[in-house]
Amino acid sequence: MLAPTALLFLPLLAGVLINGLLGAKLPKWFSAALGCGAMGASFLGALIVVPLVSGGAVGDQVLWTWMAAGSFSVDVALKYDALSCVMALIITGVSFLIHIYAAGYMSHEDERGLSRFYTYLNLFVFSMLVLVLGNNYALMFVGWEGVGLCSYLLIGFWYDRERKTGDSTYPSQAAKKAFIVNRIGDFGFLIAIFLMFTTFGTLQFDAIFSNAQIAEGGPALMWGKPVLWWITALLFVGAIGKSAQIPLYVWLPDAMQGPTPVSALIHAATMVTAGVYMVARSNVLYTLAGTGPSLVAPVGIITAAFAATMALTSFDFKGVLAYSTVSQLGYMFVGVGLGAYGAGVAHLMTHAFFKGLLFLTAGSVLHAMRDVGDIRRMGGLSRKMPITFVTFVVAALAIAGFPFLSGFFSKDAILLAAYQQSQWMFWLGAIAAGLTALYMFRLLAIAFLGQSRDQKLFDAAHESPWVMTLPLIVLAVLSATAGAVLGLHEDGLFYRFLADVLNAEHHGTTTMTPMFISVALGLAGMVVGILIYRGKSVDQLNRGNAISALPRAKWYVDEAYDAAIVRPIHEASRWVLWRFVDKWIIDGIVNASAGAVYAVGGVLRNVQTGVVQTYAALILAGAVVLLFVKGLL
């Protein structure tokens, strides 16, 4: 088993070291080939693991002991089971396609810039594999923080760029925002780890899960809730930050300031799904604690509907997809929150395919439109970019839940779970599904159909090179056909493969009613999106109303956070921390110490006169004092 492990990790590490240390001296083609080759080798390692896991020949693999103190120890150990295997396949497979795509999209960078970009990409995927393959929460947290650091580096890759016209932020600011907001969630995750250690004496998954019932009915820790409730709630706080749920979703839309391959990698297939993976991995804890239906699923469904309203009113191509990602992540949390863990992970997989494809088509459009992302300046691009257009249509149909495409199967399983357990969650989810179809086909109609709204940009537009269109075609095929391994109502090969890891909960009888409702609303959204927005002029698009004003302004959430949190912290820092604590206390202590030394030195300076007679007199006086003291003793 050591060979697949080495194939998973070592090529990525080699790519990081070679590109990171020598990249500026290497030709661009070599940096790109090295980054893509390392990623391809890692994907091959994930493929090799699949039959081994399926045959039951693989368990936990301990590499070395990381830390040991008394009876407590943490190993650097990898967990090879169905869930980690699926996650590794998704991460390495989609990342490999994005690495290839980036070779064309980032070709304008110089040697130093391209090697730096692939260094960050390889390091990110390495950290993500540590997150999903670690067999304990400590190692998961290392990967968790690793992807957080890499996301900061990748979002702020163009750190020297200023704010573009129409943008509310710029890369370096967006990177800081993502990093800081994620630290809030990470704080909750860290407290949960401390609680698990004090409760179970270990951080290893299997040991905690096998003893979880001990803490289920234990004494109340706070507010009448047992310790297991607090562990799962705090773990979910970490998931809220990393997976951009209410109220910590605000970093993800701004993160679109990074290069588009970064958006596809981080915000479709990998980092933002880490929270969903963590809940699915901890399914035993969430099932026993009962926090899934009472906390996880409600936050998820509210986020799904809330983010859909902002996607419906955004005019930024990648902005629509960013809010769509927040919304789809909400669906995943509804699935895992209601005990349909397999459905949540299935939607994670299908979302990686169609959302990765959507972001890459967005990059293809921006590449053709001279980095202009305002869809009000687009139109008629289907005639200029046929491959990009067709693959975008496939992805839009998949995310809208069009029958028998991948999103149809995974979303139907989640809505079925909601229909069986909570009617209000089901109807809100169904409405969000209709809005998903509406905003995706609104985007399609404005950008690809009708006539051009900026003739100069339209004339310069062209189809992307093959190195960019080939990954689009592969992802389009996956978006269309991945449902074949899912099946209706969690009866497919995918769910059977995960059955031993995910403790699925079934509530009530299976029915086709939620499927018919969601499909009807989805088809209605598609038709309305095309009919309303096709051929609209810029003036017509800009014309708003009272209903669309709030979501178009992003519900003023950023402004509210700025007024309630950011500016008060700035003012408190300026007037309390700087003017009082720093200037008066810290500087005061330092200055007072210096003044005391200066004063003492001024007194002692009088002794240093340079007159020999004075020194002789002082020596004599000292000798007399010493003799006197000796006589007394």
Asked, as a colleague might, if the bond just before 551 is cis with ω within 30 of 0, I would say no
How far, in Å, CA of 559 to CA of 24, rounded?
Answer: 41
Residue 118's pLDDT band, with cuts at 50, 70 and 90, is: very high
pLDDT in tens, 270-326: 899 999 999 999 999 999 988 999 999 999 999 999 999 999 999 999 999 999 999
Residue 392 lies in a domain: yes
Helical (H) or strand (E) element with 54: helix 28-54
Residue 2 lies in a domain: no
Residue 97 lies in a domain: no
Helical (H) or strand (E) element with 110: none
Q: Which of 419, 403, 426, 410 is nearest to 526 (CA)?
A: 403
pLDDT in tens, 491-538: 778 888 888 888 766 655 678 899 999 999 999 999 999 999 998 888
Mean pLDDT of the chain: 89
Question: Please, what's the b/e burial string for 568-588 (b: 16 or more CB within 10 A of its CB; e: otherwise)?
Answer: eeeeeeeeeeeeeeeeeeeee
Residue 130 lies in a domain: no
Checking 204-207 for CB contacts under 8 A at 24+ apart, the result is 204/75, 204/77, 204/135, 204/136, 205/79, 205/135, 205/136, 205/137, 205/281, 206/60, 206/135
How far, in Å, CA of 490 to CA of 110, rounded?
Answer: 48
Residue 211 has, within 13 A of its CA and on its CB side, a CA count of 12
Judge contact between 231 and 264, C-beta under 8 A.
no
Pair (582, 496) in one structural domain: no
pLDDT at 154 over 80: yes
CA distances from 426 to 335, 414, 431 (A): 11, 9, 9
What does the angle CA 184 – CA 189 – CA 191 come to, to the nearest 5 degrees?
100
Give 570-623 as a DSSP string: HHHIIIIIIIIIIIIIIHHHHHHHHHHHHHHHHHHHTT----HHHHHHHHHHHH
How far, in Å, CA of 10 to CA of 381, rounded?
Answer: 42
Range of the domain at 398: 290-544
How far, in Å, CA of 230 to CA of 138, rounded?
Answer: 18
Pair (591, 617) in one structural domain: yes
CA distances from 486 to 219, 419, 429, 482 (A): 41, 19, 20, 7
Q: Would you call 68 helix, strand, or coil by DSSP?
A: strand
Pair (408, 369) in one structural domain: yes
Pair (325, 474) in one structural domain: yes
Please classify residue 382 by burial: count the beta carbons closer than 10 Å to its beta carbon, then call 0-12 exposed, 13-18 middle and 19+ buried. Answer: middle
Token readout for 312 is: 């419906």
Residue 373's pLDDT band, with cuts at 50, 70 and 90, is: confident
Helix 28-54 vs helix 82-105: crossing angle, to nearest 10 = 160
Pair (365, 432) in one structural domain: yes
Reading phi first (left if > 0) and then psi (alpha if -120 to 50, else beta), residue 294 is in alpha
Pair (518, 564) in one structural domain: no
Residue 14 lies in a domain: no
Reading phi first (left if > 0) and then psi (alpha if -120 to 50, else beta), residue 152 is in alpha
Where is the domain boundary, 512, 544, 576? 544
Give 161-191 as a DSSP string: --PPTT-S--HHHHHHHHHHHHHHHHHHHHH
Where is the domain boundary, 513, 544, 575? 544
Pair (462, 598) in one structural domain: no
Pair (473, 369) in one structural domain: yes
Pair (408, 524) in one structural domain: yes
Residue 28 lies in a domain: no
Where is the domain boundary, 496, 513, 544? 544
Pair (625, 531) in one structural domain: no
pLDDT in tens, 253-268: 999 988 999 999 887 7
Q: Which amino acid does the sequence have at 73? A: S
Pair (493, 416) in one structural domain: yes
**In 422-465, where does DSSP find H-type helix?**
423-448, 455-460
Which residues neighbour 6 within 8 Å (Cβ) at sequence distance 6 or greater? 45
How far, in Å, CA of 175 to CA of 153, rounded?
Answer: 7
pLDDT at 227 over 80: yes
Q: Give mean pLDDT, residues 34-62.
A: 86
The distance from CA 605 to its chain's CA centroid, rounded to whole angstroms, is 64
Residue 488 lies in a domain: yes
Pair (591, 497) in one structural domain: no
pLDDT at 16 over 70: yes
How far, in Å, CA of 341 to CA of 83, rounded?
Answer: 11
Range with the poorest average pLDDT among 63-72, 172-181, 416-425: 63-72
Judge contact between 226 and 216, C-beta under 8 A.
yes
pLDDT in tens, 581-625: 888 889 889 999 999 998 888 887 777 777 787 888 888 998 999
Q: How many domains does the chain have?
A: 2
Residue 481 lies in a domain: yes
